[in-house]
Amino acid sequence: MPNATYIPPQEQDPADLAWMREALIMAEEALAADEVPVGCIFVKDDQAIARARNRTNEWRNATLHAELEAIDHLLPNHPPPLSSITLYVTVEPCVMCASALRQIGIGRVVYGCGNDRFGGCGSVIDVNSSDLVNTHEPFVAEGGYYREEAIMLLRRFYMSENQNAPNPKKKASRVLKTDIPPPPSGINTPSSRPASVPPNRNNRSLKPPDEGGEASAAAGRLAGLALGESTIVQGSGAVGGDA
């Protein structure tokens, strides 16, 4: 299973865009609640079966990312594997959340912008390329859906004062950036497939590139994983390398 595939706007399915708009609504709710604006929705047979937003600040719990919050509500009625279920989430799942999605056997993940600090679908680590213990088959991961909107939500959040920070920084003089560069094109990014090549939804068995020991290198990053979406952006107002 290759890293996440970037789907250019002209190739995006209208149905996927409609569900991503629902995820963006959840992200807007998170922003209104002074949370990192990440929202998600799980869909099965064209029906929403769970939706959630980031609640890490509300409960002072760094693990309450949108995906894990939704999974808690999902599993009692939908035991793994969840191969017939699609997750729509505004930001690439962090390594912690992507690993959880692999554990429950999610079938497909559709996200907005990449997460160059903690991304688990290829931006930092690709959980699908590792032989993880007690997991199901790798899931399909596709990014780029309402990417700019997802980035702008994050930028708006990091323009605001964070009252939960130990030493809140004054941000009154900052200017909201509106220019958004194109997706990165490195081999471990969501845009690894050239935009001119249409997505092949019938062939998901391509051999992943040689990661050169990436799995072992991951151990050095684990100390920060619990922060995930809570620290996607530091003062620059950029979402890793994707904003």
CB 108 within 8 A of CB 142: yes
- Mark whether 11 is an active-site residue: no
Cα three-residue angle 194-94-15, rounded to 5 degrees: 55
Backbone Cα Rg of the chain: 17
Active-site annotation holder among 28, 29, 58, 67: 67
H or E segment to which residue 86 belongs? strand 85-91
H or E segment to which residue 51 belongs? strand 47-53
* Encoded tokens for 199: 């997505």
Residues 6+ apart with CB under 8 A from 133: none
Beta strand residue intervals within the chain, DSSP E: 5-6, 39-44, 47-53, 85-91, 108-113, 140-143
d(CA 23, CA 135): 26
**What CA–CA distances, in Å, run from 175 to 35, 149, 150, 156?**
20, 17, 18, 10
Residues annotated as part of the active site: 67
